[in-house]
Amino acid sequence: MGDRPSLNADELRRRTDPESLSFESTETLGEPEEMLGQARAVEALRVGLGLHKRGYHVFAMGPTGTGRRTAVQRNLDERARDEPTPSDWCYVHNFVDPRRPRAIRLPAGQARQLAETMSRLIEELREALGDAFESERYRKQRAALEKAFERRREAAFGELRKLAEDRDVGVAQTPMGFALLPIEDGEVLPPQEIEKRPEEERAAITERLSTVQTHLESFLHENRRWQRDHQRSVRALDEQTTRETVTHRLDETRERYGEVEALVAYLDALQADLIQHAKELASSSESARPAPPFEEPSTGRIRFAVNVLIEHQPQSGAPVVLEERPTVAALLGHIEHYSHLGTLTTDFTKIEAGALHRANGGYLLLDARKLLLQPMAWEELKGCLRSGKLAIRSLAELLGLGGTTTLEPEPIPLAVKVVLVGERRLYSLLCRLDPEFSEHFKIVADFDDEMPRDESHEQGYARMIGHLCRKEGLLHVDAAGVARALDEAARWASHASKVSTNIRRIEELLIEADDRARGRGATRIGAVDLQEALDARERRSERLRLRTLEAIDEGTLAVHTRGERVGEVNALSVIGFGDSLLGRPSRITAAIRLGAGEVIDIEREVELGGAIHSKGVLILAGLLGARYLPERPLSLHASLVFEQSYGEVDGDSASMAELCALLSAIAEVPLRQGVAITGSVDQHGRAQAIGAVNEKIEGFYDTCTSQGLEGLQGVIIPAANVRHLMLRDTIVEAAREGRFHIWSVTDIDEALSLLTGQEAGQRGPDGRFPAESVNGRVQARLEALADAADRAKRP
């Protein structure tokens, strides 16, 4: 076909020689020294983790499965192991404002000790205060105060009685108070008797009663003052008794935690509260532990509890926290509520720590996509990083929906290194849409999805396979199996000189191959097991491929692999589903007529063409004019279409096929239908590389095989794509036997020569192409159309 030879079979797939691997099995290999092929990303990660400055958090980006999170976790664990252990944190009751619990920082390992110490202390104080108020000394002092008060009261009351008796007035004490009664001859005068007396006697009786009433009121006033004095004396006695009981016990705790100023201040407030509520504590039998959920805690002893929020083991290093579900509550912490009389309420013992609390003083690892999917979580995280403080707020509170009794715990200073793991597209979106993002995440660790396929990396890949086998409990892989895995990893990378770093994908393949190796009683995983696993995977996902071939064989999908047609060519496209790509031929046709120099992209006109595809078609219009008719305007109307395409078409990988179809229609030169073509083209007719070249070739090979190979079929690809070839063994063997061909081209002339079997033709010094060449016929036809346009314009 033409005089251009097809590629040699050895150029279609690079194979790893098992002998070059210098080992029999991965069992003899050590652990990989570094993340395979990720030296740049790991270096950036280490730089970011080492910069303890505001804003130098890390975004680890790259495709899923490349081991981003594993690498981050490993580096975090290694670094955190040798770093200082952060402080413990606890919340205690605020005796001044109970709605705002106080936060106390303690050295690592001491928060739990404090909680236990306070629990024992309160229990001891309860018993000690009970004993103190039941002691003989206290009873005697209290009795002396009571007697002194009674003596004073009785003496004053005696004087009042004598005064009343001297005036013939009786003083009676009733449940309702004191009553004054007139007396005559030792008997109480009834009211009806008083009414019978003369007016002068009634006035005298009233005057006597009024005089005594005045003295009674004075007595009652003084009595109330004496009672207040007595109560103050009793309180002073109680406070003195409490202070004597409490002070020396609290002094021991003060001395133990004297360096923690916030705790000393809390103990001072606690002492004042104990003195004020000593008898409540002494009479309480309630446990100091927090109340169970949905039960009301007593207003007594629970306020003396210590809520341990965060505790660390001394010398344990910095914490590394992975939060899988980063909601607002999971990040910032939350406050539980309980039901009391139909109302939700809470107390400081219900404060629960979040991931930021647990990671404070260390590292927090988050999945960026999961974080952004949670309402308000991203904004709250940025707010905490910006302020350097961690305040517990609920999502309902942030949305203004709070309606229950809640608390405002004292914020905690925040010093944490955050590492987000996400895809490159997500990183780009954050940079573009959130101006604050780059202020916080200044370090980017970019994990590559492929690495060079050289001896060093092949050995590292083998060690990585051995590590996966040990981690998953799989049989080890022999040298031939590793060679087969390397070949497949190169195929995943779509590059003969590179291999994919998708660790998850190779791990899944090893697991399936292990099952097959065990099934045949082998002690190692071999190349045959890996191949069977790959074949099984292909069978599981071949429904769409088989349906496409069936539609082509039945004629439902019109694709021709024999004969020649004018203005019609087989382009190659791919369909993505899941992690797989399916290559399939797409028939492109071109039609021309006299017009105003328009090249119409029908896909674009009906809004089924993407921007990149439309760009490729516009390039064709520029190429036609500049290449064939530079001195005259184009006078044709050309239309291009993907036949039987019912979805959106995008990308420029079909632009060379479209150009060939267009030139065929203009020159009326038929194109071989057994040769498909893929590649983009620039305005000078040079071929440019495209993606998914292996899948595209394999899709057309399957179509040709289904309709019968004649030894004339094949695919034209850009020369720049030869390095990407990692075709299936069946295609390589077909090429070796001459039943299928792959040609590489550098420009449109080479492609035209292969598709037409004729010389494309080179431009001469006079600017003309040879008349019988394909290019010459194109030039002649365009000139004829221009002449016709000129004639049509004449009157």
Q: Within a domain: residue 51?
A: no
Return the pLDDT at 578.
67
| Paired tokens of 754 | 């292969």
Please state the rounded mean pLDDT for residues 727-734.
Answer: 94
Q: Per mean pLDDT, which range of 343-347, 499-503, 647-651 is the poorest?
A: 647-651
pLDDT at 462: 93
**What pLDDT does residue 618 have?**
67
**Cα 754 to Cα 2: distance, rounded to the nearest angstrom:** 5
Q: Give the pLDDT confidence score for residue 298 in this predicted structure.
A: 42
What pLDDT sits at residue 609?
44
Q: Are residues 440 and 458 in the same domain?
A: no
Are 781 and 637 in the same domain? yes
Mean pLDDT, all residues of the chain: 85
- Are residues 327 and 433 both part of a single domain? yes
Last residue of a domain, one of 540, 567, 584: 540
Same domain, residue pair 349 and 497: no
Q: Are residues 645 and 631 in the same domain?
A: yes
Residue 568: which domain range?
557-793
Is position 296 within any domain? Answer: no
pLDDT score, position 287:
43
606 φ, ψ to 5°? -100, 15
- If you average pLDDT over residues 241-253, what whole number do you get? 80
- Quote the pLDDT of residue 607: 44
| CATH code at position 694 | 3.30.230.10
Task: pLDDT band for 511, please (50, 70, 90 cuts).
Answer: very high
What is the three-class DSSP state of 640?
strand
Q: Given this model, what pLDDT does residue 282 score?
A: 67
Whether residue 441 is found in the same domain as residue 456 = no
Higher per-residue confidence, 794 vs 444: 444
- Last residue of one domain, picked from the residues 423, 447, 471: 447
Number of domains in the chain: 4
Asked whether the predicted pLDDT for residue 650 surpasses 50, the reply is no
- Which band of pLDDT confidence, cut at 50, 70 and 90, is reported for residue 614? low
- Average pLDDT over every residue of 129-142: 80
Packing angle between helix 503-519 and helix 479-493, nearest 10 degrees? 140
Q: Give me the pLDDT at residue 574, please.
A: 85
Q: Does residue 42 sit within a domain?
A: no
Write the CATH number for 29: 1.10.8.60
Alpha carbon of 396 to those of 171, 293, 379, 392, 402: distances in Å?
67, 20, 15, 12, 5
Domain assignment present for residue 603? The answer is yes
For the stretch 526-571, pLDDT in tens is 999 999 999 999 888 888 888 888 888 888 888 889 999 999 999 9
DSSP 3-state helix, strand, coil percentages of the chain (rounded to 5)? 50, 20, 30
Mean pLDDT on 722-745: 94
Task: Evaluate if residue 731 carries a pLDDT over 50.
Answer: yes
18: in domain? yes
pLDDT at 418: 95
pLDDT digits (tens, 9 = 90+) for 366-396: 999 999 999 999 999 999 999 999 998 876 6
Average pLDDT over residues 248-264: 84
pTM of the model: 0.78
pLDDT for the residue numbered 605: 45
Q: Are 568 and 588 in contact (CB under 8 A)?
A: yes
How much is the pLDDT for 288? 41
Which CATH number is 406's domain given? Answer: 3.40.50.300
Measure CA 583 to chain center.
34
Domain membership of residue 376 (yes or no) is yes
Residue 490 pLDDT > 80: yes
The band of 705, judged by pLDDT with boundaries at 50, 70 and 90, is very high
Lowest mean pLDDT among 95-104, 475-484, 600-609: 600-609
Q: Where are the alpha helices (DSSP H) in 499-647?
A: 503-519, 527-540, 543-554, 602-605, 611-628
Q: Is the pLDDT of residue 177 over 80?
A: no
What pLDDT score does 337 carry?
80
Task: Report the pLDDT averaged over residues 138-158.
Answer: 83
Query: In sequence order, what are the residues at sequence separation of 6 or more whose Cβ sits closer than 8 angstroms to the Cβ of residue 189?
Result: 181, 182, 183, 205
Query: To 10 degrees, the CA torsion angle through 397, 402, 404, 407?
Result: 20
Torsion, Cα of 150, 151, 152, 154 (10° steps)? 80
Look at residue 602 and tell me if it is in a domain.
yes
Q: Are residues 526 and 563 in the same domain?
A: no
- Termini Cα distance of the chain: 49
Do 249 and 200 fall within a single domain?
yes
Model pLDDT, residue 371 = 95
Check whether residue 243 and residue 337 sit in a common domain.
no
Contact criterion met (CB below 8 Å) for 4 and 716: no
Same domain, 410 and 379: yes
Task: Assess whether 410 and 491 both reside in one domain.
Answer: no
Q: Are the beta carbons of 571 and 585 closer than 8 angstroms?
A: yes
Q: Catalytic positions, please? A: 653, 696
Q: Other CB atoms closer than 10 Å to residue 596's CB: what's the count? A: 10
Q: Which of 625, 659, 676 is nearest to 782 (CA)?
A: 625
Residues 709 and 739 reside in one and the same domain = yes
Please report the pLDDT score of residue 694 as a whole number.
93
Residue 186, φ and ψ in degrees, nearest 5: 80, 5
Report pLDDT digits (tens) over 454-486: 888 889 999 999 999 999 999 999 999 999 999
- Indicate if the alpha-carbon torsion angle 125, 130, 136, 139 is positive or negative: positive
- Residue 687 near residue 679 (C-beta atoms within 8 A): yes
* Domain stops at, among 511, 540, 569: 540
Q: Which residues contact 344 (CB under 8 A, 6 or more apart)?
A: 337, 338, 404, 405
Does residue 301 carry a pLDDT above 90?
no
What does the pLDDT read at residue 189? Answer: 74
Cα–Cα dist 361/318, whole Å: 6
**What letter represents residue 339's amino acid?**
S
Q: Is residue 91 part of a domain?
A: no
Cα dihedral: 559, 561, 563, 566 (round 10): 50
